[in-house]
Amino acid sequence: MRKINWIVGSVALGLGMAIGIVGYAVATTPATGNSLLTKFGAGKETQVLSDGVQSTDSVLGNSNPDLNVDPLTPSEGVLTEEIKNESTVEGLNQKIINDYKQNIGYFFGAWQSTDMVKFRNQLAKAYVGELYEKHARKAESFIIQGIGLEVSDIRFDEIKVESATSTAGTIEATYRYVAQDYNLGEQMPQGEKTEHLVHVRVNLILSNDHWMISGETPLT
Residue 27's Cα: distance from chain center in Å?
Answer: 25
The domains of the chain are located at 37-218
What was the pLDDT predicted at 32? Answer: 37
Q: Enter the pTM of the model.
A: 0.66
φ, ψ dihedrals at 69, nearest 5°? -100, 125
Residue 193's DSSP bridge partners are: 49
37-218 has which fold? Nuclear Transport Factor 2; Chain: A, (3.10.450)
Q: Fill in the amino acid letter for 112.
A: Q
Contact 147, 28 (CB under 8 A): yes
Name, in order, each residue with C-beta under 8 angstroms of 185's C-beta and a sequence gap of 6 or more: 28, 146
Q: Let me know: does 104 contact 171? Beta carbons within 8 Å.
A: no
The tens place of each residue's pLDDT in the chain, 220 residues long, gives 433 333 333 333 333 333 333 333 333 334 434 345 444 443 343 333 333 333 333 333 333 333 333 333 333 333 444 445 667 889 999 999 999 999 999 999 999 999 999 999 999 999 999 999 999 999 999 999 999 999 989 999 999 999 999 999 999 999 999 999 999 999 999 989 999 999 999 999 999 999 999 999 999 7
Q: Are 169 and 211 in contact (CB under 8 A)?
A: yes
In a 13 Å sphere around the CA of 158, the CA atoms on its Cβ side amount to 7
> Can you tell me the distance from the alpha carbon of 92 to that of 67, in angstroms, rounded to the nearest whole number?
13
Number of other CB atoms surrounding residue 79 within 10 Å: 13
Q: What is the pLDDT of residue 36?
A: 53
CA distances to 4, 59, 159 from 100, rounded to whole Å, are 27, 10, 9
CB atoms within 10 A of CB 71: 13
Distance CA 204, CA 215 (A): 7
